[in-house]
Amino acid sequence: MFELKSKFKITTMEPIIWIIGFLFIWELVVRVFNFPVTFIPAPSAIAQAFIDLQLVRHFLSTTYVVLAGYVIGIILGIILGTLLAHSIHLERGTSPILSLFQAIPKTVLAPIFIIWFGFGATPRIVATFLLVFFPLLVNTLTGMKITDPDLLSLLRSLRATKFQILMKVRIQRALPLIFSGLKIAAPLAVVGAVTSEFFVGQEGLGYLVLLSGWHIDIPLLFASLVTMAFIGLALYGFVIILERRILHWYLRRH
């Protein structure tokens, strides 16, 4: 037991050591070869760029868009996935349309959303929503369909209503897949928000990246990239914590 624990500690420490080493070598190389800041800034220069009120404002704006798009995408994706799983006709009818939509590069639609929804937060939220929506729809649909048909007929013979079957069995069965959809969608939400911010208005980290590129303020550019990664990882981490809470029965078995 003791041995297992110490081994565990080493393997969890190792990535941290690697990251520190990586940053250290990066700093060293930049200093020794005296790279211009416009090319690659040292980690210390990037860290200094974080102390910037601009960054905080754009960070909050992007976080708002990411969260709003993510939540709306989850809710609609799960609802529509559940509906489609219950009607074969509906599924057959919508599947060509859905697969067409899925094939369209959705990040490219942002300029159209400006025309549809104006310049506020709405087009950005819609762009985020679209990227989140499809993985959740597909995973919910698949998750609902993997329920064992024998179990369904057993429940029906026990006079369970459709709603009871949905709440007690199908949703439970679909949850692992819904959670994997949530994990896929977490970084996509950031992608959707940031890409739309390239076009829409003057808010958000996507705009800040553009702006710092124009100003050749490369430390700020790197700082905003790191901030984006932070939002994505935080969302992902939150989903994982939630999954451990809710799906502990499933994770223990698999």
Interface ranges with another protein (CB under 8 A): 11, 14-16, 18-19, 21-22, 38-39, 103-105, 107-109, 111-112, 114-116, 187, 190-191, 194-195, 198-199, 205-206, 209-210, 212-214, 216, 218, 221-222, 224-226, 228-230, 232-233, 236
Q: Which is nearer to another protein, 37 or 242 (CB)?
A: 37
Q: How far is the CB of 224 from another protein (least distance, A)?
A: 8
The residue among 106 and 170 lying less far from another protein, judged by its C-beta, is 106
CA pair distance 107, 128, nearest whole angstrom: 9
Q: How many CB atoms within 10 Å of residue 220?
A: 24
How many whole angstroms separate alpha carbon 15 and alpha carbon 18?
A: 5
Cα angle 68, 73, 118 (rounded to 5 degrees) comes to 60
Give least dist CB 82 to another protein, A.
24
Find the shortest distance in angstroms from Cβ 239 to another protein: 12
Task: Report the C-alpha gap between 106 and 134 in whole angstroms.
Answer: 11
Rounded to whole angstroms, the Cα distance separating 190 from 49 reads: 21
Measured CA to CA, the distance from residue 71 to residue 132 in angstroms comes to: 9
Q: How far is the CB of 71 from another protein (least distance, A)?
A: 19
DSSP 56-85: HHHHHHHHHHHHHHHHHHHHHHHHHHHHHH
Nearer to another protein, 174 or 220 (CB): 220
Shortest distance in whole angstroms from residue 106 CB to another protein: 8
Which of 144/228 has CB closer to another protein? 228
Query: Judged by CB, which is closer to another protein: 133, or 236?
Result: 236
Measured between alpha carbons, how far is 2 from 209 in angstroms, rounded to an integer? Answer: 48
